[in-house]
Structure 1
Amino acid sequence: MKTVKFINGIGAEITLTTDSEPFLMEKFSQSTGATQYTIKGSGQDGTKFIENTLNESDVTVKLSVIGNSNDEYMRYTNQVRRIFNPKLGQGYFVYNDGEKDLKLTCVPDKVFFPEEVGRIAGKGIISLTAHDPYWHELLETKEEIALWVGDFEFDFLNGLQIPEEGIIMGHRELSLIVNCPNDGDGEAGMIIEFRALATLTNPSLRNVNTQEYVKIIKTMVAGEIIRVNTHFAEEDVEMELNGVTSNAFNYIDEDMTFLKLYQGDNLFRYDAETGLDNLIVNIYRQNKYLGV
């Protein structure tokens, strides 16, 4: 069963389904256009296309509200109006079809229901604007580039016996490169996490194909974490040590780029100028789609 849940700016929510009362979703539509950028030379027929960008989306929800009495019907329609109150600002839809969960951020514009006396059921229309036209995956995917893998195990029945030569507790993964495929419909940001097991200097992450990179000019100590957020309009760098989080924007390399995930394969390689074996790198990402 497909469901669409809307959660408004204060956390109140409503679930719309295709086969369950009292809120039956009859149609969910999304319209997204694009702005084209062109140039025209003197005497040129037509124009030369440069690039385009997506505009905000117009979202329309058509639903039926069904009650057992006029009072119940009015209570349900008033609930819809409260949930989709435009004065509450941005909310978001969560779409689930049993296989994936996607999120679309919207601002309600208008809610319409006929208010005829005696009704126990009626159809309504809700209009919204998605300033970001993409549906984002609700859950992040974690890619571990450099990590330690545990090797330690023992027989509980016979107890732990340590030989003279010692026991291997874990091993370092040898791969310095990871592929982060973007199967979505557009370029996406990510969160890059550098973790220090012991002292290291100037950790970095580089796109093997484009040679764009993120680099932190800093000596990291054991237990320190630096997170680089490359999501559009959210670019930020923070560090965490002993439970205290602080701004780390002043440690970025002046020539670095806030890396993006391009559509298709994205090969990344991590590095550090010293203490490479003390570095763990994680990437947290979410693909985004133009429809569900």
Structure 2
Amino acid sequence: MERVTYTNARGESLVLGTSKPFYLERIKGTGGVPGDLLSTQSPYQDGSSFVEMRLADRPIVVEGGIVANSREQMYQYRRDFMRILNPKLGLGKLVYTNSARSYAIQAIAENTPEFDDRIVNNQPFTINFICPDPYFTDETQISKGLRFESGGLTFPLRLPTQFAYSAYRGLFQNDGDVETPVEIHYKGPALNPVVINETTGEFIKVNYDLGENDVLVINTAFGQKRVEVVNTDGTRTNVFHWIDLGSTFFQLQPGRNMLRYDSDREGDRSVATVTVYWYNRYGGG
């Protein structure tokens, strides 16, 4: 069984499945997408050297029909289609469900729905979606917290990482096909808070004195990068330019990622809490 649910920027939804009034006949574009192989070639080199593969936008074509009880009802359903799928509203959320699970993707109708010749009160249609980010994600966002836990062993010497006190660490599992960006919420207090991905050696550090009730929000997504502090009164302070120069907007690698948080003020770590949000990303559904 397959089902498609599209929700626009206004929160209006359209469900295409196996029952009236909107049925899904077929969906195309849930598998692979075209890619562009980037490579370099040196003089006298046989072949080329691989640089990376870039994926194109994902096109999704949905075909189905409207089944109405009357001519008037059919035209009203057509009007609903035009309103909900209006491309001027911007990106919406498309959820594709098959017999195994559901996947979500940001999508926009490339044009208004195409209506073929109607048959009595039945109206066939074709919807062409375009997805600027070609990756499907889980339908719901995943979150996991990093918290201080007292106890454990202490040592008089500074030992290698694998033996060090690990109360501020947490294991994060990316079950997707590719790396994925994160949104980090670091609740103070903290002096120059830092979050480290020990799996890759990358870190994000902000040279800022975070209050006890302040929340530092860091988003590492391409095109959506931001670093800001949500103050106790609800206002937001942009601290993007306070990032330490060695910082990287890291992403979770596929598989296991060990993250750790820290502060330049010793007592902060036992009070502060850090929550990480992300979506697993998939090459196809």
**Interval containing the TM-score (normalised by the shorter chain):** 0.7 to 0.9
Distance apart, 1:283 and its partner CA: 0.8
Which of 72-81 and 185-194 deviates more?
A: 72-81
1:186 aligns with 2:178: yes
Contact 2:148/2:270 (<8 A) preserved? no
3-state SS, counterpart of residue 265 of structure 1: strand
Aligned-pair identity in percent equals 26
3-state SS, counterpart of residue 108 of structure 2: strand
Distance apart, 1:266 and its partner CA: 0.9
Which of 46-55 and 66-75 deviates more?
A: 66-75
Closer/same/farther in 2, CA of residues 148 and 98 from structure 1, 3 Å limit: farther
Alpha-carbon RMSD across the aligned residues, in angstroms, is 2.4
Query: What does 1:42-191 correspond to in 2, within 5 Å?
Result: 42-96=43-97, 101-110=102-111, 111-116=113-118, 119-147=120-148, 175-191=167-183
Measure the CA separation in 2 of the matches of 1:237 and 1:98.
Answer: 40
- Structure 2: segments with no counterpart, 5+ residues: 151-164
Structure possessing the higher radius of gyration over alpha carbons: 1
Show CA shifts across 1:107-129 (max 9, x none). 2123211244x622132111111
TM-score, scaled relative to structure 2: 0.84
Aligned residue pairs: how many? 265
Query: What does 1:223-242 correspond to in 2, within 5 Å?
Result: 223-242=213-232
Match of 2:278 in 1: 285
2:260 to 263, 269, 276: 269
Distance apart, 1:100 and its partner CA: 5.3
1:204 to 173, 191, 194: 194
- Structure 1: segments with no counterpart, 5+ residues: 150-172
Match of 2:24 in 1: 25
Measure the CA separation in 1 of the matches of 2:231 and 2:89.
Answer: 37
Show CA shifts across 1:72-100 (max 9, x none). 22332332233223333322212356985
Measure the CA separation in 1 of the matches of 2:9 and 2:94.
Answer: 11
TM-score, scaled relative to structure 1: 0.82
Contact 2:183/2:220 (<8 A) preserved? yes
Measure the CA separation in 2 of the matches of 1:141 and 1:13.
Answer: 23
Contact 1:91/1:106 (<8 A) preserved? yes
Distance apart, 1:148 and its partner CA: 6.5
Q: Find runs of 4+ consecutive structure 1 residues off by over 3 angstroms.
A: 95-102
